Copies of this chain bind each other. A is one copy, B any other.
Amino acid sequence: MDHASGDQGAFGQGAGAGDWDADLNGDRLREECGVFGVFNHPDAAAIAAIGLHALQHRGQEAAGIVAYDGRRFHSERRLGLVGDTFSDARVIDRLPGQAAVGHVRYSTTGETLLRNVQPLFAELDAGGFAIGHNGNLTNGLTLRKQLVRDGAITQSTTDTEVILHLVARSRKARFVDRFIDALRCIEGAYSLVALTNKKLIGARDPLGIRPLVLGQLGDAYILASETCALDIIGATYVRDIENGEVIVIDDEGVQSHKPFPPMQARPCIFEYIYFARPDSIVGGRSVYQVRKMMGQVLAEESAAEADVVVPVPDSGVPAAIGFSQVSGIPYELGIIRNHYVGRTFIQPTQNVRDQGVRMKHSANRSVVAGKRIILVDDSLVRGTTSVKIVRMMRDAGAREVHFRIASPPITHPDYYGIDTPDRDKLLAATHDLEGMRRYIGADSLAFLTVDGVYRAMGCEARDPARPQFTDHCFTGDYPTALTDKAGAVASQQLSLLAEAS
């Protein structure tokens, strides 16, 4: 315990007791975006708004829609949730047209800039185009530097804008060729939706790291990050866009381009562990069932004697159900979540904050008191939350607290569109298992193994030669070149302009 509280200082900076609730979300990995496109629907913008709403979990900072009405493009990009802006009929009325692309974006702390809200838009001499991007380029800064040296003027600090300039400067005649020209220059992870005055285009990077699916709604085609965005609008799922595929939708129908040499796909495992919605089907697998299976494998790998299985709400719920089913230990709601917590409830005074008030969750004492409990969570990042959850359980009278994590220890940062803390903030990168256990104060701690993950995914095991998934966070095995990192471009200031809004 001594050591634990010492460690806590090292990790807990900026996370006082009162930050509990922020942490319970803050101590998560964060997806950086969701994309949506619709072609040939009379209510394109409204459909896009609802689709983005279903993708809200992929990004809560900002949302944008660009629609094309056959004559002009119309753009609405705003900070805040989709519903904050796009449930207003007047906003939708300002987005006429039968085709639209949209984007939700996650809130990084420092750079909540309106100018970075996507879809980005540019005008070529041949016409306008809008683009929305999920993922992250690993050579974005290197390209950006070159472009500025050549006289380009940038309007955002996103890597996505690089694609716009590359398209604008391509000497090809047709838009699709200019687009593919641009894709050939970029590295990393991208699922893109783009809209021109004739076409809706979807593209996925050569490894298919981020997801993208095609759907149909009557005569309209839909592109979306996840199937839950098809379900909400009543569209039928057609297929996943393939890794390295560029799909072009226009009045002629759907055309597929494969501009890259064929490679085996390698989708990001974290979509299954945490990002995707449980009711989505990603790469043919039910996310809910995969998560439950992770809990089941975890129960097999790391059983514990206990009275109740308690999920850390809400992300730990499916794994906890799986764990309970395999272990036979009853599943109970030992932590209650307050549904009325808005994004904005800040504890009003420092005094109150210092008392460690918990605005969002509370212990369900009747379940916890006097019991040996197994807490199940989906993943462990900085660990600051887990410390507090364990403490909350003990304060409510838990006799023993066994912490079970339904994924392996995170030891390496991501560069493909997941916001991970620096390596020295990752608990598993700096502590061994016993160190972690002491840090979070649990009676026992166990993680799902990497092979357990692959088993839960239905693979026999991880193929070290050609791994089936992007899993560097657990293994350090990065699937692409990291050009910016190698060139140390990443550290330079992205923009000289500090714009407040």
A binding-site residues for B, Cβ under 8 Å? 42-43, 45-47, 49-50, 53-54, 56-57, 60, 72-76, 81-84, 86-89, 91-92, 94, 121-125, 127-128, 145, 148-149, 151-155, 164-165, 168-169, 197, 228, 231-234, 277-279, 281, 286, 288-289, 314, 317-318, 321, 325, 330-333, 336, 338-342, 344-349, 351-352, 355-359, 362-367, 493, 495-501
Judge whether A232 and B289 touch: CB under 8 Å. no
Judge whether A123 and B151 touch: CB under 8 Å. no
Report the copy number of this chain in the oligomer.
Answer: 4
Q: With A73-B496, A234-B355, A333-B288 in contact, is A348–B123 under 8 Å at CB?
A: no
Residues of B within 8 A of A314 (CB): 339
Q: How far is the CA of A281 from the CA of B362 in the complex (A)?
A: 13
Judge whether B279 and A363 touch: CB under 8 Å. yes
9 more CB-based (< 8 A) A-B contacts, given A83-B342, A279-B365: A50-B352, A56-B340, A74-B497, A81-B340, A82-B345, A279-B364, A288-B336, A288-B364, A321-B331
Judge whether A148 and B123 touch: CB under 8 Å. yes
Residues of B within 8 A of A81 (CB): 340, 342
Among B232, B349, B363, B501, point to the contact of A359 (Cβ < 8 A): B232
Write the chain B residue with the least CB distance to A42: B351
Residues of B within 8 A of A232 (CB): 357-359, 362
Q: With A123-B154, A125-B148, A357-B234 in contact, is A87–B344 under 8 Å at CB?
A: yes
Q: How far is the CA of A497 from the CA of B77 in the complex (A)?
A: 13
Q: With A123-B495, A234-B357 in contact, is A86–B348 under 8 Å at CB?
A: yes
> Could you tell me the distance in whole angstroms from the C-beta of A275 to the nearest C-beta in chain B?
14
Judge whether A123 and B497 touch: CB under 8 Å. yes
Judge whether B346 and A87 touch: CB under 8 Å. yes
Write the chain B residue with the least CB distance to A80: B342
Write the chain B residue with the least CB distance to A495: B123
Residues of B within 8 A of A356 (CB): 234
Judge whether B359 and A50 touch: CB under 8 Å. yes
> Could you tell me the distance in whole angstroms from the C-beta of A310 to the nearest C-beta in chain B?
12
